[in-house]
Amino acid sequence: MTARHPRTPAPLLVIGQRFLTQLLIGQRPRRTGSLWPSFHSRWPRWKWVSFLFILPRRRRSPRPQSGMKVRPVLSDPEKQRGRSAAVAIAALVIAAGIPLWWKTTETYRAWLPAARIGELEALQLELRVEVEVVFARGTLSPEQQKKVPASRMREQTYESCCKSKSLCLVEADHALHTLTETSCGSVVIYIIPEASALLPQDMRVYVGRSRTALLRSQVASVVGAGLPEVLAALDPQMEQVLQTMSFNHQDVTAALTDRLRPGLSTRDSLADSMRAFKSSPGYEITFSLLNPDPKHHQLHWDVEAALDAYIYPLLHKMAPVANFSVDSQILYYAVLGVNPRYDASASAYTLSADSLAHVINPVEARLGSNAASSNPVLNFLLYVPDSLHSPLIIRNDQKQEVASNAFHSPRWGGIMVYNVDGAYGNDTQFPVDIAIDMSRVMGVFLSQLRLMLGFQQTGAPPGFVLEAAGREGVAEWELDRLLWSRSVENVATASASITSLAQLLDQIANIVINDNIAQQVASAVTALQAAVAELEAGNLALALEHSREAISASERAFFDPSLLHLLYFPDDQKFAIYIPLFLPMCVPILLSLLKIFREVQQHRAEKRAKRD
């Protein structure tokens, strides 16, 4: 057993701490050899246990008298060494430790373009439509013709084969369409003379399937009237045409509903905006055939051919707007949740308009959806009533039969009831093979699909005739209308996302902003600015593309899984973590520094006293 300093104690738990404090205070145990006090002390092993119960220790040396503090007497070099050790440790902690701790506990926040995001808050949208006005022969007097600045003065005659007015119009429209190359978003207005027989008397404007409109000029060519007057007189009518064909105030406010305060949109536009889906990168369309009675009806529907012929042209035209995925299914033994009532006068079962609202919910539980994508789903259901409840007709509020026998629900889809009781008599052998007339069905579904996708049916002003789209599904100016409102909506939504994301990241100072988020935000801001520039320039197709890019990047940045503020410590919890780590270390350092400081002060006071 080596000699032990009387003051260094036996208990295991305080060895290290006592050693450290003694070192700092300036008292270093002197011994030869080992660094730590030896375990083999004067007490036998079994008595070590008593220290666990914190019993008072038995002292060998006599207890000093109370009131007198016993301090070890140190020589000056020892004191000096102790002081320099304390100062060195304090210097190390402050100079190296604190910066190291600061650097290693920093959160990584990639740089965000805050200035450009700030600009987005006060975004001004300018929409420009390219309009080409073509005066037909006979609308302008020769003097006015000379002043027309347009470089293209085409002499074009077309034979009017007037067998029937409507066919004429269509042919004329088609002929005119082949003349000019219209880019996406532009409008061409042909002014035809008042006396022209092309348009019937009550019709002022005819809007064709492509981007052309025929406007009957109501300005008599007054001799002496200059070109500006003629144009000024035509202005209100042209504006009406443009509002029908491109966009009007209601459309734009409806598209901007996110960023505008409520109450600004009218009832009609509210209904339209509720009906159509919001802009989304993709949509899923599901066509379902519901056969509640497979024992009697064996249904065949050639849905693939019908989709190819009728639906895919429309979806192909809508490709710049969104991606579509189409699937179809047949559900057996699926019943409507409502019992139809038998109406003897019509000898048919009827569903009244009020009960339609309760039809959808029981059916929806049976419809599946693609588990992997989060895109909105449009459901189109074809219901063939069972033989007991055939025929089934839908009655509207005025108790009249509905011609289409179909109804739709905003943002959900549509249901059509297809009666097959006419295809067989009473004594046929069941089950009966029935082929469904897909053109009739698809006619209904196509019109419902158009409504769901946003081609609203706003009423045309009086005197206007809008050519129906027919088999192509959608007219080009209708598509342009949708593209205008979609671009505006995308721009508004993307800028709202970016600004609110920037606000969130500002508020919570210790969220980590990864590089990918910063990159998405930067690309979203760039695409937004490009989209706004293209809208100002009037390039609708490019503007839509940029706005789609902007919205997808901003959505990805906003909904990134790492931006959950819960994952990061609030500031008050940080104190709870750091205090048990740093306090035991800092207290001896601070105390020793204080002691040194006091000794230096004392020394200086003594020196001054000596001098005096």
Partner 1 sequence: MPNIIAVVCASYGLAQSVCDGEDLPARAERFFRSDHTNNWAVLVCTSRFWFNYRHVANTLSVYRSVKRLGIPDSHIVLMLADDMACNHRNPKPATVFSHKNMELNVYGDDVEVDYRGYEVTVENFLRVLTGRLPPSTPRSKRLLSDDHSNILIYLTGHGGNGFLKFQDSEEISNVELADAFEQMWQKRRYNELLFIIDTCQGASMYERFYSPNLMALASSQVGEDSLSHQPDLAIGVHLMDRYTFYLLEFLEDIHPASQANMNDLFKVCPKSQCVSTPGHRTDLFQRDPGSVLITDFFGSVRKVEITMETINLTVPGIPLERFGGEPHTETALAYVDQLPVAQIIHQKPKQKDWHPPDGFILGLWTLILLVFFRTYGIKHLKHIF
Which residues between 388 and 407 bind partner 1 (CB under 8 A)? 394, 396-397, 402-404, 406-407
**From the CB of 32, what's the least distance to partner 1, in Å?**
13
CA distance 371 to 365: 14
- Closest CB to partner 1 among residues 480, 489: 489
**Smallest distance, partner 1 to C-beta of residue 403, A:** 7
User: Does residue 34 touch partner 1 according to CB under 8 A?
Assistant: yes
Query: How far from chain centre, in Å, is Cα 289?
Result: 32
CA-CA distance, 270 to 293, in Å (whole number)? 40
Whole-number Å distance between alpha carbons of 474 and 497: 31
Q: Which stretch binds partner 1 (CB under 8 A): 67-75, 301-309, 340-348, 590-598?
A: 301-309
Cα gap 148→514, rounded to integer Å: 59
CA dihedral 146→147→152→155, nearest 10 degrees, is: -30
Distance CA 28, CA 19 (A): 8
C-beta of 116 vs 278, nearer to partner 1: 278
The single residue among 62, 67, 142, 561 that binds partner 1, judged by CB under 8 A, is: 561
In the complex with partner 1, the residue whose CB is nearer, 87 or 260, is: 260
CB 525 → partner 1: shortest distance, Å?
Answer: 17
Using CB under 8 A, pick the residue from 8, 9, 15, 242 that binds partner 1: 15
In the complex, minimum distance from the CB of residue 459 to partner 1, in angstroms, rounded to a whole number: 5
Q: Please state the closest distance from residue 546 (CB atom) to partner 1, in A.
A: 21
- What's the min distance (Å) between Cβ of 373 and partner 1? 7
Between 134 and 415, CB nearer to partner 1: 415
438: tokens are 């897909």
For every residue of 12-56, DSSP letters joined together read GGGHHHHHHHHHHHT-----SS-SSPPS--SS-GGGGHHHHTTPP
Q: How far is the CB of 104 from partner 1 (least distance, A)?
A: 11
Closest separation between CB of residue 478 and partner 1, Å? 13
Q: In the window 351-390, what residues touch partner 1 (CB under 8 A)?
A: 352-358, 360-361, 364-365, 369-374, 376
What is the separation, in whole angstroms, between the first and last Cα of the chain? Answer: 54
Residue number, 100 or 305, with CB nearest to partner 1: 305
Q: Print the binding letters for residues 421-440 with partner 1: x by CB under 8 A, - otherwise.
A: ----------------x-xx
Cα separations in angstroms, 556 against 66, 438, 520, 522, 531: 74, 40, 7, 12, 18
Helix or strand run (H / E) with residue 465 = strand 464-466
Backbone angles phi, psi at 499, to 5 degrees: -70, -40
Q: Which residues contact 559 (CB under 8 A, 6 or more apart)?
A: none
> Which amino acid is it at 459?
G
Q: How far is the CB of 562 from partner 1 (least distance, A)?
A: 8
Which 571-610 residues touch partner 1, going by CB under 8 A? none
Q: Which of 38, 107, 573, 602 binds partner 1 (CB under 8 A)?
A: 38
User: Smallest Cα–Cα separation from 314: which of 436, 470, 548?
Assistant: 470
Beta bridge partners of 380: 287, 414
Q: Decide: 531 and 487 in contact? Cβ < 8 Å.
A: yes
Q: Out of 88, 220, 274, 585, point to the residue binding partner 1 (CB under 8 A).
A: 274
Nearby residues of 400 by Cβ (< 8 Å), 6 or more positions away: none
User: Given the DSSP bridges, would you call strands 392-394 and 348-351 parallel, antiparallel or unpaired?
Assistant: parallel
Which range, of 156-164, 238-246, 411-419, 533-541, touches partner 1 by CB under 8 A? Answer: 411-419
DSSP secondary structure letters along 382-440: EE---GGG-SEEEB-TTSPBPSS-EEEETTTEEEEE---GGG--TTSPSSEEEE--HHH
CB of 308 to partner 1, least distance (A): 5
Cα dist. 49→11, 12, 38, 44, 591 in Å? 9, 11, 17, 10, 33
Nearer to partner 1, 16 or 64 (CB): 16
Q: What are phi and psi of 294, to 5 degrees?
A: -65, -20
Binding residues among 92-151 for partner 1 as defined by CB under 8 A: none
Distance CA 530, CA 367 (A): 41
Q: Please choose, out of 60-68, 203-211, 274-282, 512-520, the segment that lies near partner 1 by the rule CB under 8 A.
A: 274-282
Can you tell me which of 297, 408, 481, 546 binds partner 1, judged by CB under 8 A? 408
Q: From residue 310 to residue 329, what is the string marking binding to partner 1 with x (rule CB under 8 A)?
A: x-xx--x----------x--
Tracing tokens 């959608």 back to the chain, one arrives at 474
Q: Pick between residue 86 and residue 521 the one whose CB is nearest to partner 1.
A: 521
192 φ, ψ (degrees, to nearest 5): -115, 155
Taking CB under 8 A as the binding criterion, the range among 12-20, 22-30, 290-298, 593-601 that sits at the site for partner 1 is: 12-20
Number of residues that bind partner 1 (CB under 8 A): 88
Distance, in Å, from the CA atom of 113 to the CA atom of 425, rounded to the nearest integer, reads 73
Residues 196-235 that bind partner 1 (CB under 8 A): none
Query: CB-wise, 13 or 96, nearer to partner 1?
Result: 13
Cα–Cα distances in angstroms (integers) from residue 2 to residues 6, 8, 41, 225, in the given order: 12, 13, 8, 125
In the bound complex, what is the minimum distance in angstroms from residue 288's beta carbon to partner 1? 15
Contact between 409 and partner 1 by CB under 8 A: the answer reads yes
Q: Applying CB under 8 A, which of residues 87, 179, 227, 270 lies at the interface with partner 1? A: 270
Shortest approach of partner 1 to residue 571 CB, angstroms? 13
Q: Which two tokens stand for residue 416?
A: 């059509």
To partner 1, the closest distance from the beta carbon of 535 in angstroms equals 22
| Choice from 186, 291, 495, 497 touching partner 1 (CB under 8 A) | 497
Q: Does position 457 bind partner 1 by CB under 8 A? A: yes
- Regarding 490 and contact with partner 1 (CB under 8 A), the answer is no
Binding residue (CB under 8 A) for partner 1 from 17, 39, 91, 137: 39
> Do 392 and 415 form a contact (C-beta atoms < 8 A)?
no
- Using CB under 8 A, which residues numbered 57 to 76 contact partner 1? none
Q: How far is the CB of 257 from partner 1 (least distance, A)?
A: 8
Q: How far is the CB of 436 from partner 1 (least distance, A)?
A: 13
